[in-house]
């Protein structure tokens, strides 16, 4: 599943081709993805794309009259192609530009989304979200305050989008390993020093993943078709039974919140 770094890499990949360009037309081949594709998307035709931003795992294509929200779901991807390129299986949406290019959305599992929001409004899917993990609002003091009295495992806690957005399963395991914190620890038991380490680890892990172009496991590749390379730097995720890169002990695997979790019981406490 594309996580925050993969979505951010997609944003960086498509932005140079779209920002400042006028939309010629939009073609919707599949009327329903995760939700019905709204007819209002037609309003983007004739509009200039002013900016492409990201909120959590949503890409926002901003125009003067409204915003197109794109979510990649579990297997979605975006490509910039020549308009003459014929659509293939699972190519559900095309955004044709006046410069001869097309932004093409492919999604085999059809769990992504294309949504519309009028200018000046906030779409319901963006309400009640926590801060972005790479911005100043996400601080050790902030998250320590949110954890007071919370008995939920710290891994589940940092994956809660109401607490902080974009810390997916891979990055939660990697960040907790870097911070030396066992994933099953109740959130309220972490000290301020441990929150300091964990927040720093989350920021470092996500930043490095973006720099490396995301983590390619099965489905994700960049807008130009090249894979991400952060998977080569994973320390614990998906490495159950292998030696810990720090102490040499075996990496453990455990289900936490129905998600596979990887950790070293020696290095993390």
For residue range 54-81, list pLDDT tens digits in order: 999 999 999 999 999 999 998 898 999 9
Quick one: average pLDDT of 230-255?
91
- Which three-class secondary structure state does DSSP give residue 95? strand
57 is a catalytic site residue: yes
- Binding site listing for DNA: 90, 109, 150
Please, what sign has the CA dihedral across residues 145, 148, 150, 156? positive
87 is a catalytic site residue: no
- Distance, in Å, from the CA atom of 135 to the CA atom of 129, rounded to the nearest integer, reads 14
Banded model confidence at residue 228, pLDDT cuts 50, 70, 90: low
2 is a catalytic site residue: yes
Catalytic residue among 57, 104, 155, 197: 57
Instruction: Give, for 24, the enclosing helix (H) or strand (E).
Output: strand 23-28
pLDDT of residue 119: 93
Banded model confidence at residue 3, pLDDT cuts 50, 70, 90: confident
pLDDT at 230 over 60: no
**Ramachandran category for residue 89: left, alpha or beta (phi over 0 → left; psi -120 to 50 → alpha):** beta
pLDDT of residue 13: 87
Give per-residue pLDDT as tens, 150-202: 999 999 999 999 999 999 999 999 999 999 999 999 999 999 999 999 999 99
pLDDT at 231 over 80: no
222 vs 220 pLDDT, higher one: 222
- Binding site listing: 90, 109, 150
Catalytic residue among 2, 5, 133, 183: 2
259 is a catalytic site residue: yes
Banded model confidence at residue 218, pLDDT cuts 50, 70, 90: very low
Give per-residue pLDDT as tens, 115-153: 999 999 999 999 999 999 999 999 999 999 999 999 999
Q: Which two tokens stand for residue 47?
A: 């509009």
Task: Fill in the DSSP letter of residue 239.
Answer: -
Task: Give all domains of the chain, ordered by start, each with its CATH number.
Answer: 4-126 (3.20.190.10), 140-263 (1.10.8.50)
Backbone φ, ψ for residue 4 (5° rounding): -50, -50
pLDDT at 104 over 60: yes
Backbone φ, ψ for residue 193 (5° rounding): -65, -40
Q: Residue 220: CB partners within 8 Å, gap ≥ 6? A: 2, 6, 77, 214, 227, 228
Banded model confidence at residue 221, pLDDT cuts 50, 70, 90: very low
Q: Residue 44: CB partners within 8 Å, gap ≥ 6? A: 23, 26, 61, 63, 65, 66, 68, 95, 116
Which single residue is written with the structure tokens 């607490």? 163
pLDDT of residue 5: 87
Please give the C-alpha separations between residue 143 and each of 76, 85, 150, 154, 158, in angstroms, as whole numbers. Answer: 31, 47, 11, 11, 9
209 vs 43 pLDDT, higher one: 43
Catalytic residue among 110, 146, 203, 259: 259
């Amino acid at each position: 599943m594309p996580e925050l770094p993969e979505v951010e890499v997609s944003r960086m990949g498509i932005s140079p081709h779209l920002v400042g360009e006028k939309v010629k037309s939009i073609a919707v081949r599949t009327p329903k993805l995760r939700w019905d594709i709204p007819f209002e998307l037609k309003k983007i035709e004739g509009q200039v794309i002013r900016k492409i931003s990201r909120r959590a795992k949503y890409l926002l294509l901003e125009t003067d009259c409204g915003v197109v929200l794109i979510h990649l779901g579990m297997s979605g991807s975006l490509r910039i192609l020549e308009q003459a390129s014929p659509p293939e299986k699972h190519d559900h949406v095309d955004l044709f530009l006046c410069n001869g290019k097309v932004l093409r959305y492919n999604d085999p599992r059809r769990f992504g989304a294309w949504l519309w929001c009028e200018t000046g409004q906030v779409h319901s899917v963006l309400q009640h979200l926590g801060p972005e993990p790479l911005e100043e609002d996400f601080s050790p003091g902030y998250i320590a305050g949110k954890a007071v009295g919370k008995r939920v495992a710290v891994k589940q806690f940092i994956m809660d989008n109401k607490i902080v957005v974009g810390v997916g399963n891979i990055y939660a395991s990697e960040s907790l390993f870097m911070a030396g914190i066992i994933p099953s620890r109740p959130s309220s038991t972490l000290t301020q020093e441990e929150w300091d380490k964990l927040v720093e680890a989350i920021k470092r892990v996500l930043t490095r993943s973006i720099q490396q172009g995301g983590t390619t496991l099965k489905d994700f590749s960049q807008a130009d078709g090249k894979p991400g390379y952060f998977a080569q730097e994973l320390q614990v995720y998906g490495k159950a039974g292998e030696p810990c890169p720090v102490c040499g002990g075996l990496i453990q695997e455990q289900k936490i919140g129905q998600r596979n979790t990887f950790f070293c019981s020696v290095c993390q406490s």
